Structure 1
């Protein structure tokens, strides 16, 4: 059973007139926009030239259980998600890795360009829009669908629901897909208990280092 975050969710949530974390998100977005906006437009242009859909949306659970569409640049072949159950049924080792990490090494559904985008986390650039409109934060627990939340978070679920999901977080800078899911939940719990502006800045700096080193997948 995952470690409890020892955190409760207000229902309905209290009105907060000044949110330092939200203000920090907006400020950093304004600072980074001159660099990240042209980069995102360039990636979108390359994908459009290939004739594939540029964006891909997935439903995720946000703060206080509100559902939102998580945006990514498309990195998989058309129909890839529908093919996943068949692929896992035919490959026991991959099925074990999927249950353990919810990720696949050398995922055959991913295109060659998609591998490059994932390696440098460029596929996640559209999530800056999610941050801008307040569905996500730059730092927080990584957003998950309801089935993963119920299957893996257990008593840690209230802690997850108390925060905006993050574009990056402790999981991404602490080993990422090399970590089992239970450890990912523990890192989310640690963040919920200890989050601060200082911790957020440390995670952002470590995220920049991970992206530049190409350690994503």
Structure 2
């Protein structure tokens, strides 16, 4: 039986390949520029982390990427070594199920859904997290190809275990990013279901131009320091 050729399907496939190539090119260029621009941050953060607490400068952790494939994410270490993650694990379980209680952010007056007063976080770590500078090493992940400049935040495997079936779309359909649609529009002021809907919406709208818009909005989101999930 002869296959029926649909021109619109072929055009859509070509457009998707072009957009994927543009996105990857932007990721490579952006990560190289980012590593160059933030090279002083690498130096000063490394010195501060070493003087502040024992342990390595970098924190590596298994995360879930596109298609459910796991990879090692790089961050500046913001916590003490050999810490107990049970409290965070329980919080994320409740957060994903919509049972976590929010606290009021003193600066914005909005509800924030995150683990506060985490005893594992060092004094320098609090500053790095508040400014999101702890995520600068993720430019390495972008250059390696397991992350993108823009995309959903990569979850920890034990978080994915708590997902409802429809939540999985946020990790199956898009490469995770350093920044993203939800991060610049909401940061930590929405619940998990709303965050997931925004991530899925990004997947439907993603393009090189849309990514550029998100990147340009990111400095403002960092400046307002609303707090990150």
Tell me the TM-score normalised to structure 1 length.
Answer: 0.78
Give the structure 2 partner of residue 149 of structure 1: 160
5+ residue gaps, structure 1: 1-15, 89-94
Any idea what SS the aligned residue of 2:181 has? coil
Question: RMSD of the alignment, in Å?
Answer: 2.7
Q: Deviations over 1:101-122 (max 9, x none)?
A: 8731232322221111011101
- Within-5 A mapping of 1:127-166: 127-158=138-169, 160-166=171-177
Is the 1:119–1:214 Cα contact (8 Å) retained in structure 2?
yes
Shift of 1:191: 0.4
Give the structure 1 partner of residue 72 of structure 2: 69
Q: Deviations over 1:35-93 (max 9, x none)?
A: 212212221121122342212121111122211011111112333334627997xxxxx
User: Which of 1 and 2 has higher RCO (CA within 8 Å, sep 6+)?
Assistant: 1
Is the 2:66–2:176 Cα contact (8 Å) retained in structure 1?
yes
User: In 2, distance between residues paired with 1:193 and 1:152?
Assistant: 20
Give the structure 2 partner of residue 170 of structure 1: 181
Q: Count residues in correspondence.
A: 195
Any idea what SS the aligned residue of 2:38 has? helix
Any idea what SS the aligned residue of 1:171 has? helix
Tell me the TM-score normalised to structure 2 length.
Answer: 0.75
Give the structure 1 partner of residue 128 of structure 2: 117
Change (3 A) 1:158 1:181: closer
Give the structure 2 partner of residue 10 of structure 1: none
Change (3 A) 1:153 1:27: farther
Give the structure 2 partner of residue 59 of structure 1: 62
Give the structure 1 partner of residue 202 of structure 2: 191
Change (3 A) 1:140 1:78: same
User: In 2, distance between residues paired with 1:189 and 1:214?
Assistant: 24
Is the 2:65–2:71 Cα contact (8 Å) retained in structure 1?
yes
Any idea what SS the aligned residue of 2:162 has? helix
Is the 2:48–2:124 Cα contact (8 Å) retained in structure 1?
no
Rg larger in structure: 2
Any idea what SS the aligned residue of 1:20 has? helix
Is the 2:31–2:140 Cα contact (8 Å) retained in structure 1?
no
Give the structure 2 partner of residue 210 of structure 1: 221
1:96 to 100, 103, 121: 100
